[in-house]
Amino acid sequence: MTDLVGILVTTVILGSIYGLVAIGMTLIYGTLRILDMSQGSMVMIGSFVGWGILVSAHWNPVLAIVFAFAATFVLGMMTQLVSVQPLMGRRKAIDFEMVTFITTFAVAMILENVALEVFGPQQRNVTPVVSGGVNVYHGVNLPYQSIAMAAISILLMGGLGLFLGKTRWGMAIRAVAQDLDAARLMGVPVSKLYPVTMGLASSLAGVAGVFLGAQFFAYPQAGDLPLLEALIVVVFGGLGSLPGTVYAAYVIGLIQATTEVFLGTTWSLPILYGVILFVLIFRPQGLLGKPSEARL
């Protein structure tokens, strides 16, 4: 029973944080048709912003989240302008996905190594956004930090849903995702929309970074693992499907929590990759993705 409660609690926490990082990737893939490899670096930047504000400056945790959001929003917009916008002319070429995969990867490499040069390789402790915890069940301790992490992730995911569903900009993003040419004909300023989309997605990863930094550490490679996990989630959920991503985040969280309890942490990633191999072989479009025509 303790195991079961532990697994469920971990599932909710892991799933929420994966969802937050992965939903940005899905949003970008849905609108721009690119797999943004710089999302991991945004998590890392978020961790460092969290460290700077919580540890160096001793400011309010809310400020850490706000600053991380703003910093990664700007960085995400810049990433789009530098690595994707110049290539939009080749959007219909067969290799567009791969070319942008490489350029965003290059941005990730640059960000990671600039961080390495500026902050050095050491791991920095980030103080939790909120301290303390509550005992939910015999032996299952739940830190407030984790509750805040899950709550804010769910809030942000819900907020993103509202933004996409109700606001002018959100509807424009969805219009572009559905039919670029029609959206353009209706007067959607596509070239302004793309950077905003990527900024928004990156800022979600940045906020996740503040929490992940406290969970683990802030260091230049802090984004690698979240990136790999987010990749697994988006493939599992189906590239470009927002609801699919959210479901997949919790399913992947459940698989990981179960693996950690029964087999140990070293096995969680290999097992997740095994799941992904299985999914790609038998259901390549993922949980809720639509089969794309660009496949044999």
Partner 1 sequence: MNEGHSRALFPDMTSGRWSLAVLVVLALAAFPLVESNQYILSVFVTTMILLVMNMSWNFILGVAGVWNFGQLAVYALGGYGAGILMLHTGLPPVLDVVVGGLIGAAVSVLMAVPTLRLFGIYTSLLTFAFAEIVQYLILNDGSGLTGGSYGFPSVKGLYSFLSPVASMHAYYWTLLGVIVASTVAIALVTRSRLGIALRAIRDAPAFAAARGVSPLRYRILAFGLSGFLAGIAGALYLCFEQSIDPSIMGLTPMSLDVTMLVIGGLGTIFGPAIGTTIVTVVETVLVNHPGVQLTVVGIFLLVIVVFVPGGIVGLVGKVRARLSAWAEEGEEEAEEPEATEGVAPAGGTAGALDPIAIHDTTGAPTDVAP
Q: How far is the CB of 19 from partner 1 (least distance, A)?
A: 19
Min dist. Cβ of residue 124 to partner 1 (A): 16
Does position 107 bind partner 1 by CB under 8 A? yes
Nearer to partner 1, 87 or 154 (CB): 87
Q: Is the separation of the CB atoms in 85 and 191 below 8 Å? A: yes
Three-state SS at 137: strand
Binding mask 108-127 for partner 1 (x = CB under 8 A): xxx-xxxxxxx---------
Asked whether 105 and 37 are in contact (CB, 8 A), the reply is: yes
- Selected from 155, 231, 247, 250, the binder of partner 1 by CB under 8 A is 231
Give Cα separations from 285 to 32, 185, 226, 281 (angstroms): 18, 30, 22, 10
- Check binding of 134 to partner 1 (CB under 8 A): no
Number of DSSP helices (H) and strands (E) in the chain, helices first = 11, 2
Q: 99 and 87 in contact (C-beta within 8 Å)?
A: yes
Q: Provide, rounded to whole angstroms, the least separation between the CB of residue 198 and partner 1.
A: 13
* Closest approach of partner 1 to the CB of residue 121, in Å: 8
Nearer to partner 1, 142 or 212 (CB): 212
Alpha-carbon distances of 252 from 33, 126, 176, 264, rounded to whole Å: 23, 26, 29, 16
Separation between Cα atoms, residue 25 and residue 35, nearest integer Å: 7
| Integer Cα distance of 99 and 165 in angstroms | 31
Strand, coil or helix: 75 = helix
- Could you say which of 94, 122, 135, 166 contacts partner 1 (CB under 8 A)? 94
Segment lying near partner 1 (by CB under 8 A), choices 4-12, 162-170, 211-219, 224-232: 224-232
Stretch that binds partner 1, among 50-58, 99-107, 136-144, 249-257 (CB under 8 A): 99-107
Smallest CA-to-CA distance from 244 within 66, 26, 28 is with 26
CB of 102 to partner 1, least distance (A): 6
205, 210, 222, 235: which one contacts partner 1 (CB under 8 A)?
235
- Note the residues at the interface with partner 1 (CB under 8 A): 35, 82-83, 85-95, 97-99, 101-103, 105-110, 112-118, 181, 184, 190-191, 194, 220, 224, 228, 231-232, 235, 239, 266-267, 269-270, 273-274, 276-277, 280-281, 284, 294-296
